A and B are shown apart, each in its own frame.
Chain A
Amino acid sequence: MIKVNGREFPWEEGLTVKKLLQKKNYTFPSIVVKINDRTIAEDEYADALIEDGDDVKVIHLITGG
Chain B
Amino acid sequence: MTVSKLKESHKLLAEYKYVPAKVDKGYTNKSLYVNLSGNKIKAKEVTAMMKEKFIGGRGFGLWYLWNAVTPQTKWNDPENEIIISPGPVAGITQYPGAGKSLVVTLSPNTQTVVDSNVGGYFGPLLKFSGWDALEVQGKAENDVVIFIDGSEGVVRVEEAPEEAVDSHLLAEQLTELYADCEEDKRNISVVSAGTAADNTMLGMLNFSFYDPRRKTVRLKQAGRGGIGTVLRDKKIKGIVVKFKGLKGNLNNPADFAKIVNTGVKLHKEINRLDDYQNRMRHNGTTFLAGIMNDYDLLPTCNFKFGSHPEGEKIAAPNWVKMFDAGKADGCWYGCTLACSKVVCGFELKTGPYKGQKVVVDGPEYETIAGVGSNCGIFDRDYILECNFYCDTYGIDTISFGTTTAFIMECYENGIINKEITGGLELNFGSKEAAMELLHQMARGEGFGKIAGLGIKRLKEIFVREYGADAGFLNDIGMEAKGLEYAEYVSKESLVQQAGFGLANKGPQHDEAWLIFMDMVNNQLPTFEDKAEALHYFPMFRTWLGLVGLCKLPWNDIVPESNKDTEEPAKIIEHVQNYVDLFNAVTGQNIDIDGMIRQSEGVYQFQRVFNLRMGFGTREYDKVPYRSMGPVTVEEYQSRQERYDGQLKELLGIDPEGKSTEEKIKLLRKYREEQYEKITDAVYERRGWTKNGVPKLETLQKFGMDFPELVELVKQHQ
Residue numbers of A with Cβ under 8 A of B are 5-7, 25-30, 32, 39, 57-65
List, in ascending order, chain A residues with CB within 8 A of B520's CB.
5, 26, 58, 60
Contact count A vs B, C-beta below 8 Å: 72
Tell me which of B277, B295, B537, B570 has the highest count of chain A C-beta atoms within 10 A of its own C-beta. Answer: B295
Q: Are B569 and A63 in contact (CB under 8 A)?
A: yes
List, in ascending order, chain A residues with CB within 8 A of B249's CB.
none
B276 at the interface (CB under 8 A from A): yes
A25 to B295, CA, bound (A): 7
User: Quick one: closest A residue to B366, CB to CB?
Assistant: A65
Beyond A5-B522, A5-B523, A64-B554, list 11 extra A-B contacts (CB 8 Å): A26-B520, A29-B278, A30-B277, A61-B569, A62-B516, A63-B516, A63-B537, A63-B571, A64-B541, A64-B556, A65-B288
B69 at the interface (CB under 8 A from A): no
User: B513: which of A57, A59, A64 is its contact (CB, 8 Å)?
Assistant: A64
Supposing A25-B295, A29-B277, A65-B488 touch, asked if A59 and B525 sit within 8 A by C-beta, the answer is: no
Q: Are B294 and A6 in contact (CB under 8 A)?
A: no
B551 at the interface (CB under 8 A from A): yes
Tell me which of B277, B522, B554, B570 has the highest count of chain A C-beta atoms within 10 A of its own C-beta. Answer: B522
Q: Are B555 and A62 in contact (CB under 8 A)?
A: yes
User: Quick one: closest A residue to B555, CB to CB?
Assistant: A64
User: Quick one: closest A residue to B525, CB to CB?
Assistant: A6
User: A61: which of B486, B509, B562 is its contact (CB, 8 Å)?
Assistant: B562
Q: Are A25 and B294 in contact (CB under 8 A)?
A: yes
Tell me which of B516, B517, B568, B570 has the highest count of chain A C-beta atoms within 10 A of its own C-beta. Answer: B516
Q: Can you list 7 A-B pairs, Cβ within 8 angstroms, ordered by A? A: A5-B522, A28-B294, A28-B295, A61-B571, A64-B556, A65-B288, A65-B486
A32 to B295, CA, bound (A): 17
A61 to B559, CA, bound (A): 11
Q: Are B513 and A32 in contact (CB under 8 A)?
A: no
Residue numbers of B with Cβ under 8 A of A are 276-278, 288, 290-291, 294-295, 365, 486, 488, 509, 513-517, 520-523, 525, 537, 541, 551-552, 554-556, 558, 562-564, 568-571
A50 to B516, CA, bound (A): 23
Q: Are A27 and B517 in contact (CB under 8 A)?
A: no
Q: Are B568 and A59 in contact (CB under 8 A)?
A: yes
Q: Are A61 and B522 in contact (CB under 8 A)?
A: no
A5 to B564, CA, bound (A): 17
Q: Are A65 and B365 in contact (CB under 8 A)?
A: yes
Q: Are B290 and A27 in contact (CB under 8 A)?
A: yes
Q: Are A39 and B563 in contact (CB under 8 A)?
A: yes
User: Quick one: closest A residue to B562, CB to CB?
Assistant: A61
List, in ascending order, chain A residues with CB within 8 A of B276's CB.
29
Supposing A25-B295, A29-B277, A39-B563 touch, asked if A60 and B521 sit within 8 A by C-beta, the answer is: yes
A54 to chain B: closest CB distance in Å?
16
A39 to B520, CA, bound (A): 18
Q: Are A6 and B277 in contact (CB under 8 A)?
A: no
Supposing A64-B513, A65-B513 touch, asked if A28 and B291 sit within 8 A by C-beta, the answer is: yes
Supposing A6-B522, A7-B522, A59-B568 touch, asked if A32 and B294 sit within 8 A by C-beta, the answer is: no
Tell me which of A32, A58, A60 has the highest count of chain B C-beta atoms within 10 A of its own C-beta. Answer: A60
A12 to B215, CA, bound (A): 58
Q: Are B558 and A30 in contact (CB under 8 A)?
A: yes
List, in ascending order, chain A residues with CB within 8 A of B569's CB.
61, 63
9 shortest interchain CB distances as A-B pairs: A32-B563, A5-B522, A65-B513, A64-B555, A60-B516, A27-B294, A6-B522, A63-B569, A64-B513
List, in ascending order, chain A residues with CB within 8 A of B525's CB.
6
Q: Are B488 and A5 in contact (CB under 8 A)?
A: no
B489 to chain A: closest CB distance in Å?
11
User: Quick one: closest B residue to A65, CB to CB?
Assistant: B513
A7 to B650, CA, bound (A): 12
List, in ascending order, chain B residues with CB within 8 A of A63's CB.
513-514, 516-517, 537, 555, 569-571
List, in ascending order, chain B residues with CB within 8 A of A32's CB.
563, 568
A29 to B274, CA, bound (A): 10
B449 to chain A: closest CB distance in Å?
32
B367 to chain A: closest CB distance in Å?
13
User: B521: which of A27, A29, A59, A64 is its contact (CB, 8 Å)?
Assistant: A59
List, in ascending order, chain B residues with CB within 8 A of A26's CB.
294, 520
List, in ascending order, chain A residues with CB within 8 A of B541's CB.
64
List, in ascending order, chain A residues with CB within 8 A of B288's CB.
65
A28 to B520, CA, bound (A): 11
User: Quick one: closest B residue to A3, CB to CB?
Assistant: B522
A57 to B682, CA, bound (A): 27
List, in ascending order, chain B residues with CB within 8 A of A29's CB.
276-278
Q: Are B551 and A64 in contact (CB under 8 A)?
A: yes
B191 to chain A: closest CB distance in Å?
26
User: Quick one: closest B residue to A63, CB to CB?
Assistant: B569
Tell me which of A6, A26, A27, A64 has the highest count of chain B C-beta atoms within 10 A of its own C-beta. Answer: A64
A6 to B40, CA, bound (A): 63
B227 to chain A: closest CB distance in Å?
21
List, in ascending order, chain B residues with CB within 8 A of A64's CB.
509, 513, 541, 551-552, 554-556
Tell me which of A27, A57, A61 has the highest count of chain B C-beta atoms within 10 A of its own C-beta. Answer: A61
Q: Are B516 and A27 in contact (CB under 8 A)?
A: no
A55 to chain B: closest CB distance in Å?
12
A61 to B562, CA, bound (A): 9
B282 to chain A: closest CB distance in Å?
12
A6 to B521, CA, bound (A): 8
A26 to B296, CA, bound (A): 11
A60 to chain B: closest CB distance in Å?
4
A57 to B563, CA, bound (A): 12
User: Quick one: closest A residue to B296, CB to CB?
Assistant: A25
